[in-house]
Amino acid sequence: MQALSRSQDSMKNTLLIWLLCFNIVAQVHAAPVPAKDVNQGNGPVVSLDAAGPQIFPQSWLTAKVNAQATILDAAQRARSQHLVARALAKYPAVVLRPHLQRVYVLGSLAYSGVPTSGTNSRSAVYLANSGKAADAVLEGIFHAEFSSILLRNLPQHLDTKRWQQINPPDFRYLGSGVQAIKLQKASRRLDAALQQAGFLHSYAQASLEEDFNSIASRLFMGNEGLWRAMAQFPKVKEKAMLVMDFYNRLDPHFTQSWFEAQRTGR
């Protein structure tokens, strides 16, 4: 009887241990999974759930710049991750790895008292996704901001002297994107009158960087409006050729044929 009792006790203990383990596993699977940074293989880390001051360079936390952000809505995280992954896939690892460490996707973003849809630091791109902008708009902002990082890190790859010669002789850039916004000259609507002078739109006149951005982002998005402007306005075409040459110097796979293959209207 004692042997049988010991056997029964052993079975009870085994059953209790099994039930305890099952309960722990069930609780783990039932618990909500917090959003985490997404590692894009050889590319940057994509952050979908951070918006505190720690995401910004220290110099952005001054009273003058006062960079601020709100956290990305959980309902926009899957879409944002997909859009960033699609954008990153257009660049070889040798271009991404040295120049882009993180991509922050936020609910909203502002600095210098001006709300913005995107910006960049030395090695990070910041995107604001409120859920209202179309996929192509958000991806285009990424390409524009990353082009700023590349231009800043590798200015020798762009013939800026020739670029300035394309502009009208008496033209001067406004100084910055923030300045253009404050002066209400930040329209990104394609403008034929400005294109004749070599600018896609009003915001392209903010700075050489914004001028470069305006073409680079549309090249990567295969925007037909850009290609039509290139066919119609020689100055726009010449600037676009300088942009393509810039990227070709980064990596030889960025040929004119590669950019033409991105065209959405073909």
Give the end of a domain, one of 153, 170, 189: 153
In this prediction, residue 8 carries a pLDDT of 47
25 part of a folded domain:
no
Quick one: 92 and 174 in the same domain?
A: no
The contacts found for 73-77 with CB under 8 angstroms, 24 or more apart, are 73/107, 73/130, 73/131, 74/35, 75/131, 76/105, 76/107, 76/129, 76/131, 77/35, 77/48, 77/49, 77/105
Cβ atoms of residues 144 and 120 within 8 Å: no
Quick one: 146 and 218 in the same domain?
A: no
Quick one: 166 and 93 in the same domain?
A: no
Quick one: 160 and 146 in the same domain?
A: no
Quick one: 178 and 144 in the same domain?
A: no
pTM, entire model: 0.83
64 part of a folded domain:
yes
> Which domain covers residue 122, as residue numbers?
38-153
DSSP the chain: -HHHHHHHHHHHHHHHHHHHHHHHHHHHHHSPPPP--EE-TTSPEEESS--SGGGS-GGGGSTTT--EEEPPPGGGHHHHHHHHHHHHTTS-HHHHHHH--EEEEESEEEETTEE-SEEE-SSEEEEE--S-S-HHHHHHHHHHHHHHHHHHH-GGGS-HHHHHHHS-TT----S-HHHHHHTT----S--HHHHHTT-SSGGGGS-HHHHHHHHHHHHHHT-HHHHHHHHH-HHHHHHHHHHHHHHHHH-TT--HHHHHHT-TT-
26 part of a folded domain:
no
Quick one: 133 and 217 in the same domain?
A: no
Quick one: 180 and 168 in the same domain?
A: yes
Quick one: 122 and 195 in the same domain?
A: no
Instruction: Indicate the number of domains in the chain.
Output: 2
Quick one: 174 and 201 in the same domain?
A: yes
32 part of a folded domain:
no
Q: What is the residue-level pLDDT of the chain in tens, covering all 266 positions?
A: 434 344 444 444 443 444 344 343 333 333 333 345 565 556 899 999 999 999 999 999 999 999 999 999 999 999 999 999 999 999 999 999 999 999 999 999 999 888 999 999 999 999 999 999 999 999 999 999 999 999 999 999 999 999 999 999 999 999 787 778 877 787 889 999 999 999 999 999 999 999 999 999 999 999 999 999 999 999 999 999 999 999 999 999 999 999 999 998 65
Quick one: 169 and 149 in the same domain?
A: no
Give the end of a domain, one of 153, 179, 206: 153
Quick one: 149 and 181 in the same domain?
A: no
21 part of a folded domain:
no
Give the end of a domain, one of 153, 172, 198: 153
15 part of a folded domain:
no
Quick one: 186 and 256 in the same domain?
A: yes
